[in-house]
Amino acid sequence: MRIAVIGATGLVGREMLTVLEERGFGKEEVMAAASPKSAGKKIGFAGRELTVQSVEDVIAARPEYAIFSAGAAASRQYAPRFAEVGTTVIDNSSAWRKLPEIPLVVPEINLDAIKPTDRIIANPNCSTIQMVLALSALQREYGIRRLVIATYQSITGTGIKAVRQLEAEEQGHTPSEMAYAYPIHRNLFPHGGDFQEDGYTTEEQKLVDETRKIFADPTIQITATVVRVPVVGGHSEAVNVELRKDYDLEEVRQLIAATPGIILYDNPAENQYPMPILSHHRDEVWVGRLRRDHSQPNSLNLWVVADNIRKGAATNAIEIMEGLIRR
């Protein structure tokens, strides 16, 4: 099988290669593509070196799958061309997520949204993936009426430039290039993505639109605040959930614990709760701090943590591909 990774030199692209190797694709013909300035570079993979190729050359090779993490503009330009030659594209950008004809997939929840004729599949935003997986059993058993979300998002969601900014600031240096308008070391700011006319950011809007699409329920009421924090290991989310009917908290715990891909880590008496330091380099979504909301009927609070580069991007994309292969 021939698998292409588009954007292979970036943070997520490199992690995609790592996940492919970990999941047994090391003997397949894996192709790495990136921007023209990266062409010819060498990337280690499964005990050998891959030479970074141009996207045009990879299209000509007609791979079975092309996994994209090259940004929305590149995806809009090249994904349809891959699709035209019969390649199934799994795209990690925002380019296709809102289009009703493009499936938006977390494989544990809605792999069946992909039709045999679909050639472009959207990978959801990282903060959406971990939250909907944590909530999927509750949506199925009780129905979700409303979500109030505050995210605490790792700088790795912005990319390598943000990591270098934080590292320079931690060492007391002036960063050569600023990913953010403000220092991030010993700081945080309520700004992720671009501000819209209504005062919300595009990152906040993604949580609204993508959650409704994945759950196939446009009636869920959702409001969100995105915060960028000086963390490398993963995204954290405080989620308040109003269900459509009352619940038993122990049953909720059991439902969440039984969800594939979830680790329920919730023992306050022993100071056990999810943290980015636990999720770093892991594929699981960690859930804890489960408790009833006494201020509102049928409501509860939970805390959700996951490595945004792994399950929030690379791993989810490759799990989509694995699901299609099995099917």
CB 63 within 8 A of CB 3: yes
Query: If we measure between CA atoms, which residue out of 162, 151, 161, 158 comes closest to residue 184?
Result: 162
Residue carrying the six token digits 């060492």 = 171
Which residues face 235 on adjacent strands?
306
Alpha-carbon span 316 to 312, nearest angstrom:
6
Question: Which residues neighbour 80 within 8 Å (Cβ) at sequence distance 6 or greater?
Answer: 120
Give dist(CA 327, CA 321) in Å, integer.
Answer: 10
**Widest CA span of the chain, in angstroms?**
59
Cβ-contact 196, 202 below 8 angstroms: yes
Residue 128, CA distances (Å) to 135, 204, 233 in order:
10, 10, 17
3-state secondary structure of 267: strand
Contacts of 48 (CB under 8 A, 6+ apart): none
Structure tokens at 242: 């109003």
The burial of 192, by beta-carbon neighbours within 10 Å (0-12 exposed, 13-18 middle, 19 or more buried), is given as buried
Check if the beta carbon of residue 284 is closer than 8 Å to that of residue 261: yes
Element (H, E) at 31: strand 29-33
Active site residues: 126, 235
Count of C-beta atoms within a 10 Å radius of residue 326: 8
